[in-house]
Structure 1
């Protein structure tokens, strides 16, 4: 997606017939099961199914052009990967120009293999950037806990806490502080959830610089160089490229 443009519901003339738009976005939604690199773009485009505009259709065509340029790209699962969970959680505060809701993005790896990812608009409006980041962190923590349960059913013992990276030092400080301050009472449930996972040894929180925050690709449009760097970090490879 174009980094400087943020799609909104009334940004241009509405399409007279939205059938084609709906069909293309519906097919792209299925493709996100194996292509996390288009997950954010499709999440954005799917919000305008009821009344798409000309600019929305142009954005769909841009995604299709990108897919056409790399048709064989997909997830790669190495055989020598270790069985250790790690993840990245991030958010784009007030990223939606229509509702001012934030966008959550997270990705979870089992060893070097990407096994879970999500780009989703948050249900409520966050009053600060740390609050939006904390909600993203809580969602990622729940996903990691679910993966722990799944691996237990498969009789896979991990034996150590999953590493969860965040580029917000204030969020990590809130998670490690047992005292709930006035400014954190409205996210008290998320605070308790994260602290419980940390205390039980399910996750371990670590800070990561923003330029190395892999989940950024799931929260906002990025410049091409940074976009392709994160695509590589997600473990996406083209079957047409020699190893």
Structure 2
């Protein structure tokens, strides 16, 4: 209830904020994913969060509690990456049906090097048996060059605004990158 009250207070003091969509002249699809791993002692399931962009415009954002309890941050991030890949594949199919299929691999930005290494390297058997299904699903999409996982430093990770407490300047910068602008400001 406290989180709901914070959201309502934010909406009350920012009535002029809105999402503005721009035409950038490309149909690039990209996503940002992040996970908060074992933040709460009660209910130790991690929460995955991701943003997806098409043509540089925010299309979806999601925050979802994972179905499993992860034993490491890399495992939690990897499950979050799998959820992000599913959403990006759905967007790719939708764009294809509309005649705008992307011609390059879709970037899913992740700030966890261990999860990225697991995605590219199937020879991690002893450490990743419990994420086997996600591993083969993601590896199949990597091999088909449908998706790629560039590393992104935490300073540029847009999904952090949903997973961590950030400073006011980082928060405002993230809002700008997400396309939230003052709708009453003259253009």
Query: Which residue number corresponds to residue 221 of structure 1?
Result: 165
Query: Which residue number corresponds to residue 152 of structure 2?
Result: 208
Query: Which residue number corresponds to residue 40 of structure 2?
Result: 96
Write the distance in 2 (CA, Å) between the matches of 1:164 and 1:231. Answer: 19
Instruction: Answer whether contact 1:180 1:188 (CA < 8 A) is retained.
Output: no
Alpha-carbon shift at residue 223 of structure 1 (Å): 2.6
Query: Which residue number corresponds to residue 159 of structure 1?
Result: 103
Write the distance in 2 (CA, Å) between the matches of 1:70 and 1:97. Answer: 33
Q: Tell me the TM-score normalized by structure 1.
A: 0.73
Q: Tell me the TM-score normalized by structure 2.
A: 0.93
Write the distance in 1 (CA, Å) between the matches of 2:5 and 2:86. Answer: 35
User: Alignment partner of 1:207: what SS?
Assistant: coil
Write the distance in 1 (CA, Å) between the matches of 2:166 and 2:45. Answer: 19
Match of 1:234 among 171, 178, 181: 178
Write the distance in 1 (CA, Å) between the matches of 2:129 and 2:183. Answer: 49
Alpha-carbon shift at residue 224 of structure 1 (Å): 2.0
Match of 2:93 among 149, 153, 171: 149
Instruction: Answer whether contact 1:87 1:164 (CA < 8 A) is retained.
Output: yes
User: Alignment partner of 2:137: what SS?
Assistant: helix
Alpha-carbon shift at residue 61 of structure 1 (Å): 3.1
- Deviation string for 1:94-141 (max 9, x for gaps)? 123420111101111112101121111111111000001001101000
Instruction: Answer whether contact 1:81 1:113 (CA < 8 A) is retained.
Output: no
Write the distance in 2 (CA, Å) between the matches of 1:227 and 1:95. Answer: 20
Matches within 5 A, 1:20-39: none
Instruction: Answer whether contact 2:122 2:135 (CA < 8 A) is retained.
Output: no
Query: Which residue number corresponds to residue 131 of structure 2?
Result: 187
Could you say what the CA RMSD is over the residues aligned between the two structures, in angstroms?
1.5
Deviating above 3 A after TM superposition, structure 1's stretches of 4 or more consecutive aligned residues are: none
1:73 paired with 2:17, answer yes
Query: Which residue number corresponds to residue 63 of structure 1?
Result: 7
Structure 2 gaps, min length 5: none
Write the distance in 2 (CA, Å) between the matches of 1:239 and 1:153. Answer: 32
Write the distance in 1 (CA, Å) between the matches of 2:24 and 2:166. Answer: 31
Write the distance in 2 (CA, Å) between the matches of 1:218 and 1:202. Answer: 26
Query: Which residue number corresponds to residue 74 of structure 2?
Result: 130
User: Alignment partner of 1:206: what SS?
Assistant: coil
Alpha-carbon shift at residue 70 of structure 1 (Å): 1.1
Q: Across the two proteins, how many residue pairs are aligned to each other?
A: 187
Query: Which residue number corresponds to residue 105 of structure 1?
Result: 49
Structure 1 gaps, min length 5: 1-44, 46-55
